[in-house]
């Protein structure tokens, strides 16, 4: 009878009381959720790793630590919950058929060596995790993982690898030969490309692609240089001709000066004729010098430029 009276009193409660009771429940739930988030983010890294590890172990998924040491990872499912780094000097190898899952906003940074060689039947996959598998689901459905970054001394070997649902897929801070990529496949990424500091190689979507490195200098327009041979040759010949012309004018002037001092008409006439010939030769040589100089200048700008070093 006591419980019945309690139920009857609750049933006959005023609307104001019911509204107030509902508001208290909503407020208490929100407060509990905020406290849960605050406590979760304040967990030490060790505890956080253990909590995540227990969660994913129930789903047969192994948790990747933030720093990977040298070793072999067999054909299993792995998940990254934060930025995962392969340090310089370490070599990590994923066996064929392995799937590496990434929670949203996580990434893989390769400063050492990453070797992932799958096969056509058993490819290796790097992809975003299904949010239903996560311990704490993201608020937005559009959040992707950040992709793979190769450091200046990093090295990546990919064969039969698939990258899915990434923000920028692969970015290498090193030269193109830091990547050895064969039969790679990109699916549902924001940027379907392999990027370097000096270039970007777009990758066809959902097609096996082999990355071929080309010397970066070959991607730049060639430096064209004009040959200086016509100009130098023209100036050289011009200098010689002007020198000979100057000598002819000098001799002509000398013969002219001898005419008044000649002993007789015959000698004076000979000096005069010699001076005339020298003046004529000097004028011809001067004209040739100007013609050669002009020809060299014209050839310098009309001969097509050649590829420089």
Is residue 59 over pLDDT 70? yes
Q: Write the pLDDT tens digit of every residue in 114-125.
A: 999 999 999 999
How many alpha carbons fall within 13 Å on the CB side of residue 268?
Answer: 7
Q: Which two tokens stand for residue 84?
A: 């995962």
Is a pLDDT exceeding 60 seen at residue 127?
A: yes
Long-range contacts of the stretch 190-197 (C-beta < 8 A, 24+): 190/144, 190/166, 191/147, 191/166, 191/167, 193/169, 194/169, 194/170, 195/168, 195/170, 195/171, 196/171, 196/172, 197/173
- Residue 15 pLDDT class (50, 70, 90 cuts): low
8 A C-beta contact, residue 92 and residue 135: no
Average pLDDT over residues 53-61: 91
Cα–Cα distance between 83 and 49 in angstroms, integer? 13
* pTM of the model as a whole: 0.57
Task: Take residue 1 and report the two structure tokens written for it.
Answer: 């009878």
Give the lowest-confidence range in 138-142, 159-163, 170-174, 203-207.
138-142
Using an 8 Å Cβ cutoff, are 76 and 96 in contact?
A: no
Q: Which of 2-11, 225-234, 237-246 has the lowest mean pLDDT?
A: 2-11
Q: Report which of residues 9 and 68 the model is more confident about.
A: 68
Q: What pLDDT score was predicted for residue 26?
A: 52
Higher pLDDT, 84 or 175: 84
Q: Is the pLDDT of residue 203 over 90?
A: no
* 30-35 own/partner pairs: CB under 8 Å, 24+ apart: none
Note whether 192 and 168 are within 8 A (CB): no
Most confident range (mean pLDDT) of 109-118, 208-217, 265-274, 275-284 is 109-118
Calculate what percentage of the chain has a pLDDT beyond 90. 35
| Residue-level pLDDT at 3 | 45
pLDDT over threshold 60, residue 37 = no
The model's confidence at residue 297, banded by pLDDT at 50, 70 and 90, is confident
Angstrom distance (rounded) from CA 247 to CA 36: 104
**Tokens for 185?**
């496949």
Can you tell me the mean pLDDT for 296-300? 79
pLDDT at 308: 57
Asked whether residue 166 carries a pLDDT value surpassing 90, the answer given is yes
**How far is it, in rounded angstroms, from Cα 30 to Cα 135?**
19
**Average pLDDT of the chain, as a whole number:** 80
């Amino acid at each position: 009878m006591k419980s019945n009276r309690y139920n009857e009193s609750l049933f006959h409660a005023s609307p104001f009381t019911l509204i107030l009771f509902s508001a208290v429940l909503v407020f208490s739930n929100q407060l509990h959720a905020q406290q849960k988030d605050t406590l979760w983010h304040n967990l030490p890294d060790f505890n956080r790793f253990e909590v995540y590890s227990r969660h994913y172990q129930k789903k047969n998924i192994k948790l990747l630590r933030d720093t990977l040491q040298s070793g072999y990872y067999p054909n299993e499912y792995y998940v990254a919950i934060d930025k995962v780094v392969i340090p310089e000097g370490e070599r990590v190898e994923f066996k064929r058929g392995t799937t590496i899952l990434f929670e949203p906003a996580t990434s893989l940074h390769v400063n050492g060596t990453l070797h992932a060689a799958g096969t056509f039947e058993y490819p290796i996959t790097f992809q975003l995790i299904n949010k239903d598998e996560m311990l704490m689901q993201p608020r937005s459905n559009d959040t992707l993982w950040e992709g793979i970054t190769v450091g200046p001394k990093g090295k990546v070997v990919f064969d039969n690898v698939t990258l899915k649902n990434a923000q920028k897929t692969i970015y290498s801070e090193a030269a193109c030969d830091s990547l050895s990529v064969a039969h790679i496949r990109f699916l549902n990424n924001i940027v379907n490309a392999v990027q370097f500091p000096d270039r970007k190689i777009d990758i066809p979507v959902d097609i096996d692609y082999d990355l071929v490195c080309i010397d970066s200098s070959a991607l730049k327009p060639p430096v064209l240089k004009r040959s200086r041979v016509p100009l130098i040759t023209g100036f050289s010949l011009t200098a010689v001709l002007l020198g000979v012309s100057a000598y002819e004018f000098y001799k002509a002037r000398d013969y002219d000066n001898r005419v008044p001092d000649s002993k007789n008409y015959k000698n004076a006439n000979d000096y005069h004729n010699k001076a005339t010939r020298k003046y004529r030769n000097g004028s011809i040589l001067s004209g040739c010098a100007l013609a050669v100089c002009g020809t060299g200048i014209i050839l310098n700008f009309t001969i097509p430029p050649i590829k420089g070093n």
